[in-house]
Amino acid sequence: MDIRIRSALISVYSKDRIDEIAGILSQLGVRIYSTGGTFDFLKKQGLDVTAVESITGYPSILGGRVKTLHPKVFGGILYRRQDQQDLEEVEKYEIPPVDLVIVDLYPFEKTVSSTNDEEEIIEKIDIGGISLIRAAAKNFRDVLIVPSADHYDRLIDLLKTKNGSTEIEDRKYFAAQAFNVSSHYDTKIFEYFNKEQNIPAFKKSILHSYPLRYGENPHQQGLFFGNMDEVFNQLHGKAISYNNIVDIDAAVSLIGEFAEPTFVVIKHTNACGIASRTNLTEAWHDALACDPVSAFGGVIIANRPVDVAVAEELNKLFFEILIAAEYDEKALEILKSKKNRILLQKKSVDFPEVQFKSVLNGALEQEKDLKTETEADFHLVSKKAPTDTEISDLIFANKIVKHQKSNTIVLVRGKQLIGSGTGQTSRVDALKQAIQKAHDFGFGLKGAVMASDAFFPFADSVEIAGKAGITAVVQPGGSVRDADSIAYCDEHEMSMVFTGIRHFKH
């Protein structure tokens, strides 16, 4: 059923474009009610507007906390136009109808991100506005609700194309948007209070969404919820896919572990190449050497600016994505030679310290694995101590193993990944895969070190590693047969350190 808008209530925090909307409403003969600062603003624009106080008979009180919370306001929004009893009551109590409600809430989320002043934050919890949104949305059969400035364009188009009338489909659409806005607002308030209270409730809300061509596979639909522009500037290339985003996340997480000039190559969320060197060109050369076959079509990330020399080397390889904080102008010209190649400039941004995923009929949530072991965390359990070089490589290897899919084994020499086994159902299989990878790409294992994401249940993995030439091992420890692994190391002049920290990743 079409309903013509004859009266509107406007109560907004941001005044941007509200004069334009009010002007259109005035031209359509709509009576405009408004509150506080919005009323003053519209009056200054020369618009005919009526103060809400003329309806309620009460001024704005309690420092502006109470302006619209009155039966004559909410009655005008909530009464059902087809209900005889409602019609009789609004006539009896002289309640004027409100056909359109426009609200822009206090910026609670923005305030939380900009200050720690609790009083200022609490005062940005909107009460009247959120109540108006819910009331108007509930009565969508008769009332149109515009819940934020993000929806002004659609409102203006609606007013112009339908000459001030609305259809039920219009009102229901805006009602859905209203509950989206109000539920998000309430979730952010809950998150603020729950930082101290730690109530075990799963509440997440992200308004921004990024359409994807498809999900993990072409037959699956996919969306990214989040604001990608806060994290990257996309300088070149095609639209980012679902799988790209998963790999980008893995790349960004891993590169953050390293301070020296480093390149990481990611394939299906696992590092297939990584090296730290004194300059980025050498780091790229040695990262690629780890597994040049898997690097084809991979995601690459660097922690230093990409210059012309590096760009020329990178350009020899087909890859999907390159991520760096900075690019030389001429380097970008070289890298843009492939039209679909995605080039991302990473911004400085803090990421959430919790992660979650859907499982069964619910969700799992946990803290991110933010523990990165240093030499101080190493507990020597073998008779022989690792050399300084081996300690450096053990730290390097342990950083990588933390980010690979379990079961995983990482082999490193000279701050270069030379072999890895990932996602295996047994630790022995992961080790054998890592050794085979090293041999396939010409790496000898004499003097290399080994990192394991979890303890060795038997001594067999240590024995295989020792026979391959590996001289130092880092692992969490904790097996009932740890003594067997330690004994093998002692018998064969190998060093072993425990960290006490497991790094499973599924």
CB burial of 97-109 (b: ≥16 within 10 Å; e: otherwise) equals ebbbbbbbbbebb
For 7, other C-beta atoms within 10 Å of its C-beta total 17
Q: Comparing C-alpha atoms, which of 96, 104, 99 is closest to residue 129?
A: 104
The token pair at 118 is 């609790």
* β pairing state of 417-421 and 409-412: antiparallel
d(CA 106, CA 127): 9
**What is the spatial order of strands in the sheet that 321-324 belongs to?**
232-236, 342-346, 321-324, 299-302, 262-267, 270-276
d(CA 477, CA 423): 20
End-to-end CA distance of the chain: 53
d(CA 59, CA 111): 27
> Cis bond leading into 279, ω under 30°?
no
Beta strands in 74-217 (DSSP E): 100-104, 144-146, 165-166, 209-211
- The helix/strand/coil state of 351 is coil
236 is catalytic: no
Q: Comparing C-alpha atoms, which of 378, 383, 379, 430 is closest to residue 404?
A: 430
Which residue in 15, 124, 268, 405 is the catalytic one?
268
Phi then psi for 77, rounded to 5 degrees?
-85, -45
Which residue in 15, 124, 138, 338 is the catalytic one?
138
Phi then psi for 14, rounded to 5 degrees?
-85, 130
268 is catalytic: yes
Catalytic residues: 138, 268
